[in-house]
């Protein structure tokens, strides 16, 4: 009985849209068949135009520009921090271990560590563009004019001699002497001009020794590893050009060299340590990580991608030849296999060129894109080739191409649109790396479709013309396509025999495949009939929902994590460094800076609001649950401590400061000569010792009781009556405050505080100018500035030679006005402008910003720090920000940490994942509903894709893969690729007629082999990644394996079962679809194209079965539908 059926408006609308698109694609196929050469050349020209953009390609590797969400507060805070306190440092970290694996705290080990420091930090030099650089040339400094590099921390500081500024090993005469020095952990020094000796506590350097062994008295007796850190400057980081010339440390020419001398030095340093020091050292083995190490390792991995891509191409071509080739001189389609892969190659090249034209940067993740496009492109190739094989055999080549595009073109258009929309919508994500990748993928999928329907279809036209002649397949040694006497003579089949016997003649020891392909026959005769049995359906439903349950549970167990290990191969020496960091030096502490803004009136550094609010901010951070006790660094608190700890109430020596009572002093008259030295009569004997004659740094001269004292009511407010320490005490006079602060930062106690203050540009320029002047008397008209260090003059001049600040208020005002008049840009920055008074001083002070530093623990309770600690990191970030913002201070405090570039990712990664996945699924749903012609089928496909996604997430959990911006990329990719397998089957199901089970059998028979080949080719495209040693590529392979496994199984097993149970009716135009009787073929192979051409007739064979029971009419052309009972010898597997 006929099955009456009514179609809803959505289905009619979808069918109409599909019909129009099918007509357009058919007309396009006919156009290509008629203008084949023009289309082919046009596609080549388009590819070349796209490829030209490769010259404009850029790359992005900076953490904050890839993995930190757009709009994240940490980006603005980092920009503020970098602008005020520098762009950070390039860290060079070295871990020393004993070669015997024992105690490293011995004299022999320390001596080799000292030798290491001398060889590389002091003596290693490289040459770039004729200029020689050592570490002192590229190291980080608090100020560019500083003579010393910023110290990162070294165990050699235990033997540091502050007078000579050298590590002094002469006192370490034995292992016991070394241990005594380490346990004492202090550096003795006498401040410039002081009569007292101070001890600088460096016990925190014990943290540079791991797995310490202590005796019963708590004294250190052993350790397994020593840590040393150096800081290089980022000033040269913009010099990324690789066209410079240079020499290594031995004077040998370097063939390829970066113009950045810092990276050149780093690379040479790392190479020398690994190839020289570790080979020659007797006791110590050094494990090195430079700022360039991770990038260098990633470059090695990406460099190997070219080889992997070539291997993938070879596997794809080989598989495509096996599928499309028929081991027959004429019917083989190996040429199409090469053409299909070539079209994908054009798409890959065009994608990178288009990215260059569009200015989209490459990232570490985009290196996986060629493999993705290879899988998608070859999948489309199989669908088109399969449709060409199913085209009615009596049609001429032009009509067969039109039929191919009409049937298969719509199918690949659906998958192209769903993939493109899934990726295009995900470009809106806040993760730059994901956005860039999705942009690249959108370009690639679009170009793949374009080259498939141009370049590949043109190749199909020529191949069809070849078959019609008939002529042999054109690839020598690929199959039986050789000419007699050629390189594959053993494959030759005589023309007369070929014409007479066709496929029945053995060729290359292989016979012709089963007509229609073995796989297609297996699916139709065995697989599909088994799948539609009720017990099998029940089993499928139970198994797949069981897997869904596992995936749903796994989705609740995933954690967030992001590590630099992701970019390093598993066999890299850097992994040993990471292991040492994680297992021996992992404190888990997060260094946080609270940025304080002093640019607005009421918030200037010297004003009461700063004195009142700064302690409140410090207290708020100390009360935070994660606060590491004893880690607070408040520079103003340290300044106050220094003032109160200085002996003799902090004498204001005229060598450093000027106060009004010094106005009438005759300095030269107050000196006396002792031998060859000029001193003050009140100078104590302990102060008489002068520095070596060559020294121009130390001035000396602070005495007891001779000079005015800072710690008095005259100059300070808030000093307790008993003279005890008071955090609230402050210096009254603005200039005196900045004089003392600048002097404090020249002392050993305050040198580390220089990085906690950010000076205004005008102030930095002013002091740099004074510092650049020779130590003489500078004169320009009426203006003079005396920098002489002359003992005969009582060692007095106009300038504090350590701070480059004029001492007298009048001289400071006069010198500053003189300098600003030479630089209008800096002059405009002094707001409000300097007044006319002779003792003028900028109202804004000298510093625009300061910071308070604290460390946060990895956990509130006691215990070891976990390797993955995303929850705590987010709590620290959000809690620290709230703690300071709740104070509503005029200082506008902002908590910042470089580590929060990752924590910001953890805070939003789940929401971003859900947003990207939701958008992609919506895109899939809209396209499938429109093109599959029924909303219910579209929803089934969407639900099927959602199940695939949960299955993949479950496997991620089993593989211990975390949620981060890299894994999100592959989840979005999973949606785009998984829909391919389901959409082809669903589209074929809706086009078929008959009962639900019959339509399932038809859909699997028609599209199953192409889907299987697509899945296999996609897997082959990435299987080479299974041997990768990089996390990114290993994760890529695992995700792709899961996509192929679950996408294919859901598309070929679960979806057909669901459609057979609850699928809608057919989208066929007929209102009644009577069941057609089956045509039973005999055992002989179907007539081949060769035999048809040889018969001298172009008419169709007498019996051609139709999918719809009769011929189909599209436009002005009438096609007999393919015989699915027997298949075709031309396409399929």
- Residue pair 1089/393 in contact by the 8 Å Cβ criterion: yes
Query: What per-residue confidence (pLDDT) applies to 687?
Result: 40
R_g of the chain computed on alpha carbons? 39
Query: What per-residue confidence (pLDDT) applies to 376?
Result: 84
Rounded CA-CA distance 1016/1038 in Å is 15
- Which is nearest to 522 in space by CA: 533, 514, 532? 514
Query: What per-residue confidence (pLDDT) applies to 1101?
Result: 35
Helix, strand, or coil (residue 1062): helix
Query: What per-residue confidence (pLDDT) applies to 1116?
Result: 44
- What does the pLDDT look like over 610-640, one tens digit per residue? 888 999 999 999 999 989 888 899 999 999 9
Query: What per-residue confidence (pLDDT) applies to 1036?
Result: 79
Whether 4 has a pLDDT exceeding 70, the answer reads no
Whether 303 has a pLDDT exceeding 50, the answer reads yes
Query: What per-residue confidence (pLDDT) applies to 702?
Result: 39
Average pLDDT over the chain reads 79
Using omega within 30 degrees of 0 as the cis cutoff, is the peptide bond preceding 1073 cis? no
Under the banding of pLDDT at 50, 70 and 90, the label for residue 500 is very low
Angle value at C-alpha 283, between 279 and 288, nearest 5 degrees: 60
Rounded to whole angstroms, what are the CA distances from 124 to 154, 295, 382?
A: 18, 22, 59
Report field, pTM of the whole predicted structure over 0.75 = no
The residues, any chain, with a CB within 8 Å of residue 979's CB and separated by 6 or more, are: 415, 418, 419, 422, 924, 928, 941, 945
Query: What per-residue confidence (pLDDT) applies to 429?
Result: 85
Q: How many CB atoms lie within 10 A of CB 613?
A: 18
* pLDDT-wise least confident of 75-79, 301-305, 1007-1011, 1125-1129: 1125-1129
Q: How many CB atoms lie within 10 A of CB 752?
A: 15
Q: How many CB atoms lie within 10 A of CB 641?
A: 16
Query: What per-residue confidence (pLDDT) applies to 1120?
Result: 43
- Residue pair 481/330 in contact by the 8 Å Cβ criterion: no
Rounded CA-CA distance 493/511 in Å is 13
Backbone dihedral region of 994: left (phi > 0), alpha (psi from -120 to 50 degrees) or beta? left
* pLDDT-wise least confident of 200-214, 452-466, 1096-1110: 1096-1110
- Residue pair 797/773 in contact by the 8 Å Cβ criterion: no
More confident residue, 520 or 596: 596
More confident residue, 34 or 609: 34
Residues paired with 786 in a beta bridge: 777
Rounded CA-CA distance 575/559 in Å is 22
* pLDDT-wise least confident of 239-248, 811-820, 948-957, 1101-1110: 1101-1110
Whether 667 has a pLDDT exceeding 80, the answer reads no
- If you count them, how many residues does the chain have? 1133
More confident residue, 789 or 1115: 789
The mean per-residue pLDDT over the stretch 72-101 comes to 87
Residue 205 has which token pair? Answer: 């350097």
Residue 473 has which token pair? Answer: 């397949």
Rounded CA-CA distance 711/707 in Å is 12
Q: Please, what is the end-to-end C-alpha distance for the chain in angstroms?
A: 36
- The dihedral formed by the CA atoms of 768, 770, 776 and 779, expressed in degrees to the nearest 10: 130
- What does the pLDDT look like over 219-228, one tens digit per residue? 999 999 999 9
The residues, any chain, with a CB within 8 Å of residue 476's CB and separated by 6 or more, are: 482, 486, 487, 488
Query: What per-residue confidence (pLDDT) applies to 670?
Result: 54
Query: What per-residue confidence (pLDDT) applies to 397?
Result: 87
* pLDDT-wise least confident of 89-98, 538-547, 804-813, 865-874: 865-874
Most confident of 231-240, 258-267, 1047-1056, 1087-1096: 1047-1056
Rounded to whole angstroms, what are the CA distances from 1090 to 251, 354, 475, 504, 814?
A: 72, 43, 19, 12, 103
Query: What per-residue confidence (pLDDT) applies to 750?
Result: 86
The residues, any chain, with a CB within 8 Å of residue 1127's CB and separated by 6 or more, are: 389, 390, 515, 516, 517, 520, 521, 1086
Query: What per-residue confidence (pLDDT) applies to 96?
Result: 95
Query: What per-residue confidence (pLDDT) applies to 1027?
Result: 72
Under the banding of pLDDT at 50, 70 and 90, the label for residue 486 is very low
Helix, strand, or coil (residue 27): helix
- Which is nearest to 533 in space by CA: 1101, 1060, 1063, 4? 1060
- What does the pLDDT look like over 36-83, one tens digit per residue? 999 999 999 999 999 999 999 888 877 778 888 888 899 899 889 988
Whether 947 has a pLDDT exceeding 80, the answer reads yes
Rounded CA-CA distance 1013/1019 in Å is 10
The mean per-residue pLDDT over the stretch 848-868 comes to 81
Alpha helices in 502-565 (DSSP H): 518-522, 528-531, 534-557
- What does the pLDDT look like over 543-572, one tens digit per residue? 999 999 998 898 888 877 777 677 777 778
Alpha helices in 131-253 (DSSP H): 135-138, 175-184
Angle value at C-alpha 473, between 468 and 476, nearest 5 degrees: 160
Alpha helices in 273-331 (DSSP H): 278-280, 293-303, 305-324
- What does the pLDDT look like over 564-613, one tens digit per residue? 677 777 778 888 888 888 888 876 678 899 999 999 998 999 998 888 89
DSSP state of 275: I
Rounded CA-CA distance 190/201 in Å is 14
Helix, strand, or coil (residue 896): strand
Whether 396 has a pLDDT exceeding 50, the answer reads yes
- Which is nearest to 417 in space by CA: 464, 454, 380? 380
The mean per-residue pLDDT over the stretch 1114-1123 comes to 43
Rounded CA-CA distance 545/950 in Å is 11
Buried b (16+ CB within 10 A) or exposed e, 371-384: bbbbbbbbbbbbbb
Query: What per-residue confidence (pLDDT) applies to 616?
Result: 92
Query: What per-residue confidence (pLDDT) applies to 706?
Result: 63
Query: What per-residue confidence (pLDDT) applies to 477?
Result: 37
Query: What per-residue confidence (pLDDT) applies to 320?
Result: 75
More confident residue, 554 or 12: 554
Query: What per-residue confidence (pLDDT) applies to 925?
Result: 80
- Residue pair 393/1101 in contact by the 8 Å Cβ criterion: yes
- What does the pLDDT look like over 1034-1068, one tens digit per residue? 887 888 888 889 989 999 999 999 999 998 887 66
The mean per-residue pLDDT over the stretch 311-338 comes to 73
- What does the pLDDT look like over 489-498, one tens digit per residue? 434 445 554 4
More confident residue, 850 or 377: 850
Under the banding of pLDDT at 50, 70 and 90, the label for residue 1128 is very low
Under the banding of pLDDT at 50, 70 and 90, the label for residue 487 is very low
Rounded to whole angstroms, what are the CA distances from 833 to 815, 836, 847?
A: 15, 10, 16
Rounded CA-CA distance 116/175 in Å is 19
- Residue pair 558/956 in contact by the 8 Å Cβ criterion: yes
Helix, strand, or coil (residue 90): strand
User: In degrees rounded to 5, what are phi and psi of residue 516?
Assistant: 95, -15
Rounded CA-CA distance 292/297 in Å is 9
- Percent of the chain at pLDDT > 90 equals 31
Task: Please report which helix (H) or strand (E) contains residue 1131, including its range.
Answer: none
Query: What per-residue confidence (pLDDT) applies to 297?
Result: 77
């Amino acid at each position: 009985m006929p099955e009456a059926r009514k179609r809803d408006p959505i289905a009619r609308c979808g069918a109409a849209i599909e019909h129009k698109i099918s007509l357009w694609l058919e007309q396009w196929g006919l156009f290509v068949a008629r203008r084949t050469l023009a289309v082919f050349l046009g596609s080549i020209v388009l590819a070349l135009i796209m490829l030209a953009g490769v010259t404009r390609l850029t790359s992005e590797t900076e953490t904050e520009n890839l993995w930190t969400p757009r709009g994240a507060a940490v980006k603005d805070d980092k920009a503020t921090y970098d602008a005020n306190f520098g762009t950070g440092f390039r860290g060079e970290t070295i871990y020393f271990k004993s070669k015997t694996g024992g105690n490293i705290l011995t004299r022999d080990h320390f001596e080799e560590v000292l030798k290491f420091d001398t060889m590389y930090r002091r003596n290693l030099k490289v040459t770039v563009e004729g200029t020689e650089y050592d570490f002192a040339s590229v190291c980080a400094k608090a100020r560019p004019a500083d003579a010393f590099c910023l110290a990162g921390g070294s165990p050699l500081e235990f033997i540091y001699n502050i007078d000579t500024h050298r590590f002094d090993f002469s006192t370490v005469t034995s292992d016991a002497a070394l241990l005594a020095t380490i346990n004492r952990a202090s550096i003795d020094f006498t401040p410039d001009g002081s009569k007292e000796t101070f001890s600088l506590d460096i016990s925190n350097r014990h943290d540079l020794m791991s797995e310490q062994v202590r005796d019963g008295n708590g004294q250190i007796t052993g350790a397994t590893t020593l840590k040393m850190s150096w800081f290089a400057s980022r000033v040269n980081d913009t010099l990324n050009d690789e066209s410079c010339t240079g020499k290594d440390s031995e004077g040998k020419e370097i063939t390829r060299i970066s113009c950045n001398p810092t990276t050149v030095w780093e690379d040479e340093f790392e190479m020398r340590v690994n190839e020289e020091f570790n080979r020659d050292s007797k006791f110590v083995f050094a494990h090195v990580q430079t700022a360039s190490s991770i990038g260098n390792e990633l470059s090695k991995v990406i460099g190997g991608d070219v080889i992997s891509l070539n291997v993938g191409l070879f596997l794809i071509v080989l598989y495509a030849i096996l599928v499309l080739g028929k081991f027959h001189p004429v019917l083989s389609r190996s040429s199409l296999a090469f053409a299909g892969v070539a079209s994908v190659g054009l798409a890959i090249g065009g994608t990178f060129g288009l990215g260059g034209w569009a200015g989209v940067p490459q990232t570490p993740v985009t290196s996986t894109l060629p493999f993705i496009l290879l899988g998608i492109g070859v999948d489309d190739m199989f669908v088109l080739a399969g449709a060409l094989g199913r085209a009615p055999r009596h049609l001429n080549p032009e009509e067969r191409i039109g039929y191919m595009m009409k049937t298969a073109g719509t199918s690949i258009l659906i998958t192209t649109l769903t993939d493109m929309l899934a990726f295009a919508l995900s470009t809106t994500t806040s993760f730059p790396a994901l956005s860039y990748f999705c942009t690249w993928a959108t370009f690639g999928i679009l170009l793949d479709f374009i080259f498939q329907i141009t370049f590949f279809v043109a190749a199909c036209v020529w191949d069809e013309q070849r078959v019609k002649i008939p002529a042999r397949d054109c690839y020598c040694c690929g199959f039986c396509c050789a000419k007699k006497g050629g390189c594959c003579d053993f494959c030759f089949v005589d023309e007369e025999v070929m014409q007479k016997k066709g496929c029945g003649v053995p060729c290359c020891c292989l016979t012709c495949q089963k007509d229609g392909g073995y796989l297609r026959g297996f699916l139709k005769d065995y697989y599909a009939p088994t799948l539609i049995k009720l017990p099998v359906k029940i089993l499928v439903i139970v198994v797949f929902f069981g897997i869904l349950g596992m995936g749903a549970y796994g989705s609740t167990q995933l954690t967030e994590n992001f590590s630099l290990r992701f970019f390093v191969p598993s066999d890299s020496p850097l992994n040993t460094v990471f292991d040492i960091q994680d297992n021996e030096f992992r404190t888990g502490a997060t260094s946080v800076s609270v940025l304080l803004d002093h640019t607005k009136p009421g918030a200037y550094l010297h004003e009461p609001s700063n004195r009142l609010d700064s302690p409140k901010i410090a207290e708020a951070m100390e009360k935070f649950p994660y606060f590491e006790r004893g880690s607070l660094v408040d520079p103003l608190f340290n300044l106050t401590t220094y003032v109160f700890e200085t002996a003799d109430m902090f004498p204001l020596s005229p060598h450093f400061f000027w106060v009004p009572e010094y106005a009438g002093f005759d300095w030269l008259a107050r000196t006396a000569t002792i031998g060859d030295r000029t001193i003050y009569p009140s100078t104590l004997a302990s102060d008489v010792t002068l520095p070596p004659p060559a020294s121009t740094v130390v001035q000396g001269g602070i005495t007891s009781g001779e000079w005015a004292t800072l710690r008095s009511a005259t100059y300070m407010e808030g000093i307790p009556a008993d003279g005890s320490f008071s955090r609230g005490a402050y210096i009254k006079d603005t200039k005196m405050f900045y004089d003392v602060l600048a002097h404090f930062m020249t002392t050993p106690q305050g040198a580390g505080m220089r990085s906690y203050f950010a000076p205004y540009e005008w102030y930095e320029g002013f002091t740099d100018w004074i510092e650049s002047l020779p130590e003489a008397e500078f004169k320009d008209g009426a203006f003079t500035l005396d920098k002489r260090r002359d003992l005969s003059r009582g060692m007095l001049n106009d300038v504090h030679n350590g701070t480059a600040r004029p001492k007298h208020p009048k001289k400071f005002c006069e010198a500053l006005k003189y300098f600003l008049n030479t630089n209008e840009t800096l002059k405009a920055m002094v707001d409000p402008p300097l007044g006319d008074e002779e003792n003028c001083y900028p109202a804004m002070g000298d510093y625009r910003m300061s910071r308070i530093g604290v460390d946060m623990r990895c956990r509130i309770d006691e215990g070891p720090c976990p390797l993955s600690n995303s929850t705590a990191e987010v709590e620290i970030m959000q809690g620290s920000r709230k703690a300071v913002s709740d104070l509503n201070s005029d200082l506008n405090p902002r908590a910042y940490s470089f580590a929060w570039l990752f924590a910001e990712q953890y805070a939003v990664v789940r929401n971003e994942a859900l947003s990207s996945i939701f958008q992609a699924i919506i895109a899939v749903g809209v396209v499938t509903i429109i093109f599959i012609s029924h909303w219910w089928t579209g929803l089934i496909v969407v639900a099927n894709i959602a199940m695939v996604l949960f299955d993949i997430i479950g496997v991620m959990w089993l593989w211990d893969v975390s949620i981060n911006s890299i894994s999100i990329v592959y989840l979005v990719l999973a949606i785009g690729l998984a829909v391919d397998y389901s959409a082809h089957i669903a589209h074929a199901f809706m086009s078929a007629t008959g009962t639900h089970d019959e339509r399932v059998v038809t859909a699997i028979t028609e599209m199953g082999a192409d889907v299987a080949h697509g899945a296999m080719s996609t897997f082959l495209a990435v299987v080479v990644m299974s041997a990768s040693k990089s996390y990114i590529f290993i994760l890529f392979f695992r995700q792709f394996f899961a996509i192929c496994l679950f996408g294919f199984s859901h598309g070929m097993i679960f979806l057909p079962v669901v459609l057979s149970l609850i699928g809608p009716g057919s989208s066929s135009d007929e209102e009644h679809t009577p069941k057609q009787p089956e045509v039973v073929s005999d055992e002989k192979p179907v007539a081949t194209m060769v035999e048809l051409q040889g018969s001298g007739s172009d008419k169709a064979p007498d019996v051609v079965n139709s999918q719809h029971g009769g011929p189909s009419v599209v436009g002005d052309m009438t096609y007999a539908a393919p015989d699915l009972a027997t298949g075709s010898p031309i396409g399929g597997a």
